[in-house]
Amino acid sequence: MAAGNEAQHSTPVYLGALLDDGEGATVTLAAGETRLVVHRAVLVAGSPVFAAMFGHDTAESRGGLVDVADVDGPVLRELLTYLYTLRAPQLASLAPRLLVAADKYGVASLKAQCEQQLAAGLTVDNAAATAVLAVRHCCPGLRQTAVSYIKGHTHRVMATQGWADAVRTQPEDVVELSRLLAETPPESSPGPSAATQPASGAAARHTPPPPDDAAVSRLRAGRGSSRPSPATRPLGDPGRSPAAAARHTPPPPDDAAVSRLQSLSQQERGRRLIEAARQGAAEQLRELLAAGADVRAREEGWLGSRCTALHLAAGRGHVAAASCLVGAGAEVDARTIGGQRTPLHWAAGSGHAGVVRLLVGASADLNARDRWGQTPLHRAAEEGHAEAAAELLLAGADRGALDDEARTPLDVARKRGKQELVDMLTQR
């Protein structure tokens, strides 16, 4: 029995020594410039994805070369080290990327250990990224822990660059995260959670409950299979370079200011929210939202339009303010009372391409029609805003949509003499 236990404990170390030992290895894994020679039997035993790959007549099975896409060299090495030794790395910086790789290749035990590391290292700055990662890669325990943490530090987390980046690059996951935040009671610290305990195989495969139908409908609106990911597009304040925007981390709302705002009536907080959105005062918006201002508040606008704060931020091109409002759950397809226009109509009609990009990324309806039957693309064409129109077309807006006068955006551009838009809309 003692000899058996000794052999069991020494086996991972022995297999670890085989990594990079070419003798008997039949597979080369390639990730960028990294090439790792490994043993097919280890891959098949440790990963159902590799097992399926080598269990069929595939190019990888025949040629012995596997291109591991979307995994960089250091992460691939740690993944393989785990398959050989069953020991997860202690490098916290690799945990998010290693979790993604473990999920992709079905290494449930490594994925669970990465979840533990991430749950133990939650901070205000990384909570948004961790929660989005947990939503995207089906990590119920980590998701619950991260959501509870954010709920207990809402205004501080929403003031970070991490939250702004999540809204910009992974809006679909932020929609689901916002729903979870609305359903979760606040906690001041993560506390005990399934994410801090080793997950069983069943737990690692657990599928989260489906999002509500309204959120799914918004996410599917106007999306085509060729639509590019918002993560590939830079977003920032039009007055700052992308590099400067990436370096900027807004300070958290001042607790004293939040306390003073909480003493105001809901109506007054709503009025101030509208004014802050009009001015693009993102910091004031964060303080007001932290104090409980209703993100759905409306103002009696021109011609009785009764616009929302998001309409005002969109129409004036305030990207940071619009991002703050979207992150707080503002309805991206809210309609003005008079013209039935959405924030995307306002952003496109005013030529604010950065806000258009943000709203498109947040799953705004690309082809919403106002009371005259015009879509956001009609509005951009009518006003001659080529960059905003380009964003809409790139996202899949219907260039053949007809307004109430049976005019396409191209017809509108021609009538208004907007030649750049005419050229753009005639290209296919």
pLDDT of residue 202 exceeding 70, the answer is: no
Give pLDDT, residue 253: 65
* Confidence at residue 59, expressed as pLDDT on a 0 to 100 scale: 64
Which CATH superfamily does the domain covering 11-108 fall into? Answer: Potassium Channel Kv1.1; Chain A (3.30.710.10)
pLDDT at 204: 35
**Least confident among 5-19, 130-144, 164-178:** 5-19
**Dihedral (C-alpha) 67, 69, 72, 78: value to the nearest 10 degrees?**
-70
Pick from 251, 175, 252: which is nearest to 220 by CA?
175
- Of residues 190 and 277, which shows the higher confidence score? 277
Give the pLDDT band of residue 61 (cuts 50, 70, 90).
Answer: low
Between residues 19 and 220, which one has the greater pLDDT? 19
The class of domain 266-426 in CATH terms is mainly alpha
Percent of the chain with pLDDT over 70: 74
Could you tell me the pLDDT band of residue 143, with boundaries at 50, 70 and 90? very high
- Taken in order 10, 15, 18, 24, the sign of the CA dihedral is positive
Query: Of 46-55, 153-162, 334-343, which one has max mean pLDDT?
Result: 334-343
Mean pLDDT calculated for residue range 264-292: 90
Which long-range CB contacts under 8 A does 65-70 form with residues at least 24 apart? 65/27, 65/28, 65/30, 66/27, 66/28, 66/29, 66/30, 67/30, 67/31, 68/29, 68/30, 68/31, 70/100, 70/104
Q: Please determine whether the domains at 122-193 and 266-426 fall in the same fold group of CATH.
A: yes
| All structural domains of the chain with their residue ranges | 11-108, 122-193, 266-426
329 by DSSP, 3-state: which?
coil
Fold classification of 122-193 is 1.25.40
The yes-or-no verdict on residue 358 having pLDDT over 70 is yes
The structure's pTM equals 0.46
Say what the pLDDT of residue 153 is: 87
Which tops the pLDDT comparison, 206 or 342?
342
